[in-house]
Structure 1
C-alpha cells in the first residue's frame, strides 16, 4: 500500500472501544492500549474522562504509567479529549474557575505525552487566549473540534477567534460528520425498527442534503411523533449528522491541525463513507496540512459490532483513500481538462 503524504498520521480513537469500557471486563487504559498492541494504530486518541475515575482531578502518576506502557508497545497518545464543566452544582463557573477546571486536565494530558487536547468548537471562548501560556509551558496544542452542523456559516465567530489568535497552540479539528452525502444505512434501519414514520425515513434516505429535509426533521420532532425508544437516536439528525460539502469549509482548512474520520457503519456501497474521506484528503493535500487523521466510530450507539475489527477495516479503507495525495498530484488532476 502506498504511503500517506509526509506529515500525515492515521490514528485510532479509544472512544471506539466504549462498549468494552462499559462492560468493565478490562480497565479503560488497558483497552486503549489494545489499539496499539493489536497493530491497529501507533497513535491513539483518548478521552480523559473515560480513562480514570479521578477525572477531572490530576492523575499524573497513572498518566505517566500509561505513557510508559504505550511507549513500550511502540505507541503514543496524539490528542486527548478534555472538557469544561460550566456549572459547579450551584452557579455558572467564572472564567477563572473554568481555567482552574481545565488546568489539571492539561497537565495530565502532558504527562500522557500527548501532542494536544480537544474541546468542542466555541466552548473555550476567552479561555483560548488565557490558556496560551499554559499550553506553551506544557508543549500542547488545543484543538477546537467542529462537527455536524457547526459549519463556518453557522458559527462564524468561533472560527474567527481561532484565526485571530493566529497561534500554532490553538488549531481547528474538523470532524467529517459535517460532510455526509447520505445517512448511514444502519441508522436508517434503526429508526425504522424504532417506529419512526416510514415517509420520513424514506425522505431521510433519498433527500438527506435537501434543505427541506432539515425542516421536516424539526417539524416531526415538534409534533411529538418521535417514538420514545428512539428519541435520543433521533437527535443525531440535529446535532451529529451534517449535510455540507467540502467547499463549505474550504476557507478554514488552513486552520486545521487534525481531522476526525468519523464513520458510523461500514456500508460503503455508494461511497457514502469513501467520498468525504477522499474529498478531505484532496483538499488537505493542497493546503500543506500536517497532523493526525483519526478513525472515530460513532455507530456503537446502535450497533453491536466488534470495535477492533470495525476500526481495523475503517483504517484500511482510509489509508487506501488518503495515500499519495500530494499537492502536485492534486493540482495536476484539477487542471486536467
Structure 2
C-alpha cells in the first residue's frame, strides 16, 4: 500500500478531553499531556482559554513548563486555538484594542513552542496585515479556520484576503465538517429523542445535502417548534454541519496549511466519516500539502464516550482512509471538478 507523504502530520486536539476538563479531577494541562502519554498522538492542538485561568494574559512560565513536559514525553504543540473578544463589556473594541487582546496569546503560544495559532476565518479582518511582522518575530503561522457552511462561495472576501497577503505566515485551516455527506447517526437519534418533528428528522436522514433540506431546517427554527432542550443542538445544522463537496474547496487548496478531521461519532455508515477524508486525501495528493491532520471530536456535545478511546480509534480510521486514497497515483486522482481536468491552480 502506498505510504503517506512525510509532510502530512497526524495530531489530536486537546478539545477532545473537554468533558474531563469540566469534571476538574485533573488540570487542563495534565489532560492535554495525557494524549501524548497514552500514545494517541505526538502532536497536539490546545485551546489557550482552556489551559490556564490567566487567559488572555500571557502565561510564559506555565507555557514553557508544559512545553518541557511535552518534550520529555516525546510530544509538542502544533497549533493553539486563540480568540479575539470583540466587546469589552460596553462597546466594540477598536483594532488597536483587538490587537492588544491577541498579542499576549501569541506570545504564550510561542512560549509553548507551537508552530501556529488558529482563529475563525475572517475574524482578524484588517488585523491580518498588522499581525504579519509580529508573527515573523515569534516564528508563528496564523491559521484561519473555515468550517461548516464557510465555503469560498459563502465568505469569498475572507479567502481573498489570505490569498492577497501571499505570505506563509497566514494560511487556511480547513475543517472537514464542511464536507459532510450525511449527518451523524447519533445526532439524528438525539434529535428524535428531543421530539424534533419526525418528518424533518427523516428529511435530514435521507436528504441532508439537498437545498430544500436547508430551507426546511430554517423554516422549522423560525416556526418556534424546536424544543428548548435540543435548541442548541439543533443550531449545529446551521453552523457546524456543512454539505459541500471537495470540488467546492478545490480552488483554495493552495492556501491550505492545516486540516481538522472533525468527527462526531464513529458510525461510518455509508462512509459518512471516511468518504470526505478519502476525497480530500485524494485531491491533496495532487498538491504539495504540508501540515497537520488533526482529530477533533465534536460529538462530546451529546455523547459521553471515553475521549481517549474515540480519538485513538478515529485517528486509526482516518489513517486507513487516507492510505486507501493514496493507492491512486496523482495522475489517476479524480478531478475535484469531476471533469477529468487537474485541480485549478489559482487560490481563488
Q: Compute the displacement of 1:323 (Å).
A: 2.9
Q: Give, in angstroms, the shift of residue 100 of structure 1.
A: 0.5
Q: What's the counterpart of residue 323 of structure 2? A: 323
The answer to whether the Cα contact below 8 Å between 1:37 and 1:73 also exists between their aligned partners in 2 is yes
The range that moved more, 1-10 or 44-53, is 1-10
Asked if the contact 1:118/1:145 (under 8 Å) is kept, the reply is yes
1:32-76 deviation digits (Å, cap 9, x = unpaired): 000000000000000000000110000100000000000000000
Distance, in Å, in 1 between the alignment partners of 2:324 and 2:199 is: 43
Question: Residues of 1 paired with 2:78 and 2:269: CA distance?
Answer: 31
Q: Could you tell me whether the CA contact under 8 Å between 1:263 and 1:297 is conserved in 2?
A: yes
Deviation digits for residues 205-228 of structure 1, max 9, x if unmatched? 000000000000000000000000
| CA distance 1:143–1:327, change in 2 (3 Å) | farther
**Cα distance, 1:164 vs structure 2:** 0.1
Q: Deviations over 1:174-218 (max 9, x none)?
A: 000000000000000000001100000000000000000000000
Does the 8 Å contact 2:278/2:324 carry over to 1? no
Within a 5 Å distance, the mapping from 1:105-124 to structure 2 comes to 105-124=105-124
- Per the normalisation by structure 1, the TM-score is 0.97
- Contact 2:2 2:327 (8 Å CA) reproduced: no
Secondary structure of 2:217's match? Answer: helix
Task: Name stretches of at least 5 consecutive residues in structure 2 with no aligned partner.
Answer: 341-348
Partner of 2:165: 165
In the alignment, structure 1 residue 82 sits paired with structure 2 residue 82 = yes
Find the counterpart in structure 1 of residue 200 from structure 2.
Answer: 200
Say if 2:80 and 2:116, in contact at 8 Å, map to a contact too: yes
State yes or no: 1:297 paired with 2:297.
yes
Count of residues in correspondence between the two structures: 336
Distance 2:315 2:331 in 1: 26
Alignment check: 8 A CA contact 2:171 2:255 kept: yes
Paired residues for 1:64-103 under 5 Å = 64-103=64-103
1:269 deviation in Å?
2.3
* Preserved contact between residue 4 and residue 325 of structure 1 (Cα < 8 Å): no
Unaligned 5+ runs, structure 1? none
Q: Distance in 1 between matches of 2:203 and 2:126?
A: 41
RMSD value, Cα: 1.5
Shift of 1:294: 0.2
Q: Distance in 2 between matches of 1:313 and 1:19?
A: 18
Equivalent residue number for residue 186 of structure 2: 186
Distance 1:162 1:327 in 2: 32
Shift of 1:285: 1.3
> How many angstroms apart in 1 are the aligned matches of 2:286 and 2:231?
41
Instruction: Between 277-286 and 105-114, report the one with greater CA deviation.
Output: 277-286
Counterparts of 2:145 and 2:288 in 1: how far apart (Å)? Answer: 20
